[in-house]
Structure 1
Amino acid sequence: MSIGLFDHKAGFSFVSYSRSIVKDNQNDFFIGCGSMIALNTFVIGYKKYLLKSFVDGYSVASLQKIYGMSGDSNAACISLGLEKRIWKNFFLNTGVNITHLLKDQEFLIFPSFNLNIRY
């Protein structure tokens, strides 16, 4: 579960939930959903850890279905970021998301900062 300004997995969301389908130390295939009240996102994607150290670096590639008040859209998203464990199951994530809205051929670049709770 993630709470914060956008999310590296679910994209446009303040609250999101993702579930790993297949996971090992370096790779994570996941499905998830997120909500920003008037905007909801469903996602399937892949997370790759690039650096495992005091702070972990990662990249995420995902396909998203975005539903909003003005209709729906399909999107492809790439995220790069850093992750730091702060206590047992709590992680801070920060990074940048690049989303390509397929229908409009529009690119959106926005930051992400959130608290992840893993269980």
Structure 2
Amino acid sequence: MSLVELSFVVFFIAGGLLIFWYLIVGIILTCVTPEEVKQYAYTREHYMEVELAISSGFHFGSLIYGTGLLAAIAFPRLGRKRGLSDVRSLSPQWLINVSLVYWLILLIILFVIFSTLLIMAFY
């Protein structure tokens, strides 16, 4: 199997893994995020009214904002613009650790996808 063929296979496997990891694991983590963390984060102080409407409910918009909240918990500098840099102090230790692992694995999957894409494009 040549490098391009191997990259093609790895690209699609990593893409499927990305869909599973972001959607399934992201939904689970968004649902198990403690309510006091959500009540602190989803206020008019941190989000506009339209964003609060989008983040409420159970649809793709709430998944995006929920995983964004997990990113602010894992990496506090990401939440600085919205004033969420202190949300980590409200979060339990297990949520901080799980958020770190979730985002690091997500970034590794994205790195693999873009690396294989570059190999397929320029090899």
Give the shorter-chain TM-score range.
under 0.3
Question: For the pair shown, which has the larger CA radius of gyration, 1 or 2?
Answer: 2
Higher strand share: 1
Instruction: Work out which structure has the larger RCO, using CA pairs closer than 8 Å and 6 or more positions apart in sequence.
Output: 2
Q: TM-score, normalised by structure 1?
A: 0.24
